[in-house]
Chain A
Amino acid sequence: MKDDLLRIKTEALAGIAAAADTRTLDDVRIEFLGKKGTLSQISRRMGSLSAEERPIMGQMVNDVKDALEAALSTRKTELAKSEMFAKMATEKIDATLPGIAPKLGNRHPMTIVTEEICNIFIGMGYEIAEGPDVETDYHNFEALNVPKTHPARDEQDTFYVEGGHVLRTQTSPVQIRKMEEGKLPIAIVAPGKVFRSDEVDATHSPVFHQIEGLVVDKGINMGHLKGALTLFAKTVFGEDVQTRFRPHHFPFTEPSAEMDVSCFMCNNDPEKVKTCRVCKQEGWIELLGCGMVHPKVLARCGIDPTVYSGFAFGMGLERMAMQRYNIEDMRLLFDNDMRFLKQF
């Protein structure tokens, strides 16, 4: 019986080693370790053994069983691994094929630029204000110190609608509406559409966008205006940008200024500026108009100009977007061609 056991062990180990796949290995397991397997059959013969022999043989059977199970397990792991590799070999794909991703849309470049500017001012504690596109003559002109006879009315080529109203020619009426609310202090920016009767071409559109800013509080002076707008310019154009404030004239501010920033291309470098096409050798790009809110404007909105002062600014947004993305023709912004919109 002992010899039988040793023979079974030898045969079984050979079978395990020879099994080429997990199925064959399982067959070997069933043949030797199954309920009706050779080892069970031998165990059944234990009854015929003497009481002294029985434990010895029992131990022997167990040892063989353990040895076989260990061998089976090792072989099984080996085979499973090689089968996994074989399977993966058949699963090979072209890893350079395009991925599957949901198609995202894109925000309009005007939205992106407007948001960026708004966020800079929100960071400085400003709110975003809005106003109607169709405005009263009063809010668009009169309250801003532009009476009926003022030449600026001609220059701005206003669209008129019934009731004596206008399509706002600037975002400045939002200033008036904000001041009329009577809550002080005020710190707002107001982005929005404005309308002027310009024929469409590469640099003109009868509808375009501006952003307006207004700060009113006690003790506001031109230094605050310079501080806010210089910080704004540095955030948008980078730390190295230079700014300059030139005296100018607007009916609704006094004193008034225009802010220039150093040219995006040559940065007003004394050598590079000589051949710069972007700024036409000026070194500067005109960015926005600004000034201290005219005392008549404050007074008309019910704010006492002997107590409060403020500054205001306004700028066109199309040119910012066009400069940012090197868009040469303004018409593209209103054209809505997917091939254009997908680029932002």
Chain B
Amino acid sequence: MKLPISWLHDYIEPAVIGDLHDFAEKMTMSGSKVEKIHHLAADITGVVCGRIEEILPHPDADKLVITKVNIGAEDLTQIVTGATNLSVGDYIPVALHGANLVDGLKIKKGKIRGQESNGMLCSVEELGYTKADFPEAPENGIYIFGKPQELGSDARVALGILQDVFEFEITSNRPDCFSVIGLVREAAATVNSKFKIQNSKLENAQSVAVRDYIDVEIANADLCKRYIAAVVKNVKIEPSPQWLRNRLIACGLRPINNIVDITNYVMLEYGQPMHAFDIRAIDGGKIIVRNAADGEKITTLDGEERVLCADTLVIADSTKAVGIAGIMGGEHSKILDDTTTILFESANFYGVNIRQSSKKLGLRTDSSGKFEKGLDPNLSLTCINRVLELVKQLNCGDVVDGLVDVYPESRLEHKLDFDPVRIDALIGVDIDLAGITEILERLGIGVDGTTATIPTFRSDINIWEDLAEEVARLYGYDNIPAVIASSSNAGGKTVAQKMTDILKQTMVSLGYSEMLTYAFESPKVFDKLEIPQQSHLRNVVRIINPLGEDTSIMRTSPLNAVLTALSTNYNRRNARARLFEIVKTYHPNSDTSILPDENQYLVVGGYGDMDYYHIKGVVETIMSVFGIVDLPQVAPISHLSFMHPGRTAGFAFDGENFGFCGQVHPQILENYEIEAPSYIAVIDFDMLLKYAQMEKNYIALPRYPQLARDIAIVVNSDTINAQIVSIIEKSGGKYLKKVQLFDIYEGKNLPEGTKSMAYSLTFGANDKTLTDEDATKAINKILNALEQQLNAQLRS
């Protein structure tokens, strides 16, 4: 919301406002944040008012003339110009030597075709404005002031373009502050000053003369709270006066003509959108505020044909819609140069409906923006009176006596009881009732004892806590003493949160860096990962209004996230990548009223200086960190469409899948444009939480020496380590403490189709020193079992 300081000065003495920046700071701290102070025309310098004293032909150029200009100095200033609209005696803006004009244009004296020229006579364009802003300016030529100016004075002042404008950020609960008057109220309360708004009143408002022109019917009183119509006849459409245009310009609006400018001016001043119709376009002499018919068409002021639906409110006459209520008027009824009789509308529409209609139509206007925040219906009368006052003041036409005011249910001031003790307790201050009363009264809130009377424009104040905020913000949030609450809670993290930290720390220690990926992705990822059609992974939570197809489903697995990250790195020629993330996946419930299940997974991925055993090692380390020493069932798995069928292991605990690790399927790597063998692991974090043994129990160090024995056995090539270890552990007896694979050999000296696997076995007892015999006995049992179950032979 923009507020020209000159407008503020209409209501509050400049001396009370004081320094601009101090004032801005005070406003910010009382709740109206000043985003910026614009200094309009500040970059234009060295332009003064001058008078043409002589015009002489240029000796060497037909299209140029030499002017002698009086700028209040002793000598006249000679300026050469090509303009043809000048006469002796004209007052004009003169850019002197060294002047700065718009767009960084700098004026220097020099010679034009041999004749000295000490500056430039200016058009409005050279000062950064257009003919719309200064309609009296000539089409092509120097701006000529309509009346004499003090010679040598600042032309920006004469033009009224030198203005300071505050730009406020207004919060959505304060629709009343989207207006000059609203901000004046806030300013007055902030600097603790009085201000005076003179609300004009139409004489003969009760007259029925207006009924000869127009009648009004509200067909939907839920959506239209009030509709006031007034009529002006014998209208003269012309440009508005400069002071009014300058205020519109300062607020970012383009002047159009006196009637339209008046409606815009009042909208800026009070925040109430106004509209003017050419009464010629109103058939049947009656305004009906009704819902549109489904499919009803109207061409709006901007020339677009709009198709309406029944939710949208229209302003209609007896045969057709003449405007979309609160959003935009109709093309057909707009003010034209030959308009002679005007209907002014000052109405109140239900904000929510205006917002929905505006959204549906894709049409946001200044008007809809104001209405959708919810306006005070009592403002409508103030504003129609203000419009008619301006019509008279600007002499635009003759106001017809009387108003048509349809106001089915008046909004009244409401009362609110408050308890000063509770207000103080909520804020944390000690302000007595007198202090509270003083603050509330500054804001125009009446106080009688402990009952506040809330003006109708403060629709945001409904409970005593709202009053507390008013008290606090004018008392100053900065004046509230800061206190450290003494907490009775121990605080801290839950077990799961601590385990998340441990997991991340473990991954970082293992050389993996944490990535961050989006929770949504493309439905195409399933085909990219060759996930079977019937897979549960394809059962997704779909976003109804996604940014695009690529981000339209919530992920059901972390695979695409990690492979995309690996692909990014590979394609940027990073030689190696080591990535992990703890991600959520989302799984819909068949009853969609129940929130989707959210599961957490650790996903790990890498390529470069890496093989299968590295990724498996990562999984084993994690298991060990989480105290899962007896690794869950580990088995080669070949059924995952995205994994290498011969290089993947699955983990399960009590038959529940825990996760998997291995090499990514080469076809999938091709789909992701990764040309290096890549490895990933996925671990179900919830399972990790479930099976983790974070309680550590000390186990006594062996008191008796342990015996280490190595065995090498020859087995079929397809025999896997897990089988052998399992047999050794089962048959090794109570003294077997540890089994560790240390060598695998295939090739020379071994029969075709066989391999040698070498294990280091550690034996020990807690109550004695083992003898060689004890160990030999155990080893014989192991070898026997291996021979029986795997046909394994001791390698000689």
Interface residues of A (CB under 8 A from B): 102-108, 110-111, 115, 121-128, 130, 132-136, 149, 151-152, 154, 159-165, 167, 185, 187, 193, 195, 197, 199, 206-207, 215, 217, 219-224, 226-228, 230-231, 244-249, 254-257, 292, 294-295, 309, 333-339, 341-342
Contact = CB atoms under 8 A, between A and B. Distances in A.
A125 B352 contact: no
Contact of A292 (B28, B426, B546): B426
Contact of B30 (A193, A220, A247, A341): A247
B174 A249 contact: yes
Contact of B481 (A160, A223, A231): A223
22 contacts: A102-B511, A104-B508, A108-B514, A124-B484, A125-B490, A128-B497, A132-B598, A151-B172, A161-B543, A197-B547, A215-B485, A217-B485, A224-B485, A226-B477, A226-B480, A246-B28, A247-B473, A255-B468, A295-B463, A336-B516, A338-B513, A339-B574
A222 B472 contact: yes
Contacts of B489: 125-127, 185, 187
Contacts of A217: 485, 488
A118 to B, nearest CB: 8
B519 A133 contact: yes
Given A230-B482, A335-B568, 4 more contacts: A108-B515, A126-B489, A133-B519, A207-B518
Nearest to B422: A306
B427 interface: yes
Contacts of A336: 515-517, 564-565, 568-569, 579
A154 B576 CA distance: 44
A135 B541 CA distance: 12
A245 B477 CA distance: 6
Contacts of A193: 519
A-B pairs, top 6 by smallest CB distance, nearest first, are: A125-B487, A163-B592, A223-B428, A221-B428, A247-B31, A255-B469
B426 A309 contact: yes
A222 B477 contact: yes
B494 A256 contact: no
A130 B600 CA distance: 13
Contact of B483 (A134, A165, A226): A226
B595 A107 contact: no
Given A161-B554, A249-B171, A104 B511 contact: yes
Interface in B477-522: 477-478, 480-485, 487-494, 497, 501, 504, 507-520
A127 B594 CA distance: 27
Interface of B: 28-31, 33, 171-174, 352, 355, 359, 372-373, 425-429, 463, 465-466, 468-469, 472-473, 477-478, 480-485, 487-494, 497, 501, 504, 507-520, 541-547, 551, 554, 564-565, 568-569, 572, 574, 576-580, 584, 586, 588, 592-596, 598
Contacts of B483: 221, 223-224, 226-227
Contacts of B30: 247
Contacts of A245: 477-478, 480
A163 B478 contact: no
Nearest to B30: A247
B580 A105 contact: yes
A247 B469 contact: yes
The A contact surface, by secondary structure, is mixed
Contact of B477 (A102, A199, A247): A247
Nearest to B477: A245
Contacts of A292: 426, 465
B104 to A, nearest CB: 20
Contact of A122 (B468, B492, B517): B492
Nearest to A341: B513
A107 B492 CA distance: 21
Contacts of B510: 105
Contacts of A151: 172, 355, 372-373
Given A136-B595, A151-B372, A249-B172, A105 B513 contact: yes
B586 A133 contact: yes
Contacts of B511: 102-105
A133 B468 contact: no
B419 to A, nearest CB: 10
A199 B584 contact: no
A79 B34 CA distance: 88
Contacts of A165: 592, 595-596
Given A111-B504, A133-B598, A187-B491, A160 B513 contact: no
Given A132-B595, A228-B484, A246-B29, A295 B465 contact: yes
A157 B322 CA distance: 33
A235 B429 CA distance: 26
Nearest to A149: B352
Nearest to A209: B516
A36 B169 CA distance: 110
A339 B466 CA distance: 51
Nearest to B609: A103
Nearest to B493: A128
Contacts of B355: 151, 154
Contact of B171 (A103, A105, A167, A248): A248
Given A163-B592, A247-B30, A337-B569, A152 B172 contact: yes
A149 B351 CA distance: 9
A337 B513 contact: no
A193 B373 CA distance: 30
B425 to A, nearest CB: 6
A108 B516 CA distance: 7
Given A245-B477, A292-B465, A309-B426, A197 B514 contact: no
